[in-house]
Amino acid sequence: MSPFCLGKVGDRGRSGTDNRLFVEAVLWIVRTGSPWRDLPEHFGKWNTVFKRFRDWVKADVFVRLFEAVSGEPDMEYAMVDATIVRVHRHGQGAKGGPSSQAIGRSRGGLTTKILALTDALGNLVRFVLLPGQRHDLKGVDELLQDIDLQALLADKAFDATWLVQRLQSTNCQVVIAQKANRRAPLLIDREMYKWRHLIENYFCKLKEFKRIALRSDKTDSSFAAVITLASAVINSR
């Protein structure tokens, strides 16, 4: 992982400090859900660590770390699903207001939706963030862009004619639970559909990281970075 990190031993400034200690500091924040100001002193000054975190976010370092530990996904089939997380008050008040971020307002308060695509092993391939009130289908185009699928497993929230036709046009097997009002029911592999629990398992593992289970990041870029880092840990197990 070290070749993908910013800085090295001997460099000036915050990029030249111990990368392993820094990653452990970020993981401590992500796992515990604590405010940056509560970072234990042995990790260094919290403000310096936070600024360095933002440097890595802007440079897509966490994405490169995720790719380094994930390897080639098993695309024998893939699964798509979404989960909703509440927004902590620390995650509110971003510049431009909630409307400029993937934060939506509903009866349950402010929420963010994580729409994810996992491979046949239940490991994350990619994800998109949506305001909590948006329908799951709104992010599917972005999620499936340039992805070669043999089969797609999904629940009935994704039972849309345009999506089924798009998948069939690429010879992708459709394994999507159907709504009761579908006029032309599809035959689906019900034994294969049972494996959809793997993406639900992924969300359970992801929400073990408290900063994700209750969004505490004001910006989508920071929230996406902590999801990416946590997913790197999950994929590497």
Sole residue written with tokens 């207001």? 97
Answer for the pair 7, 19: CB distance below 8 angstroms, yes or no.
Answer: yes
Distance CA 209, CA 227 (A): 9
- Among residues 42, 142, 132, the alpha carbon closest in space to that of 87 is found at 132
The pTM is what? 0.90
Q: Tell me: pLDDT of 196 over 90.
A: yes
- For residues 11 and 231, what is the distance between their CA atoms, to the nearest angstrom? 29
pLDDT reported for residue 200: 97
H or E element in which residue 112 lies: strand 109-118
More confident residue, 199 or 108: 199
The mean pLDDT of 97-117, rounded to a whole number, is 84
pLDDT computed for residue 107 by the predictor: 74
What number of residues does the chain have? 237
Q: Please determine, for residue 96, whether its predicted confidence score (pLDDT) is greater than 50.
A: no
pLDDT at position 9 over 90:
no
pLDDT in tens, 14-26: 455 588 899 999 9
Write the pLDDT tens digit of every residue in 57-77: 999 999 999 999 988 899 999
Which pLDDT band, with edges at 50, 70 and 90, does 31 fall under?
Answer: very high
Alpha-carbon distance of 65 to 196, in angstroms, equals 27
Residue 128: beta bridge partners? 115
Q: How confident is the model at residue 12 (pLDDT cuts 50, 70, 90)?
A: low
The CA-atom distances, in angstroms, between 210 and each of 143, 163, 214 are: 25, 33, 6
Q: Whose structure tokens read 């491979």?
A: 119
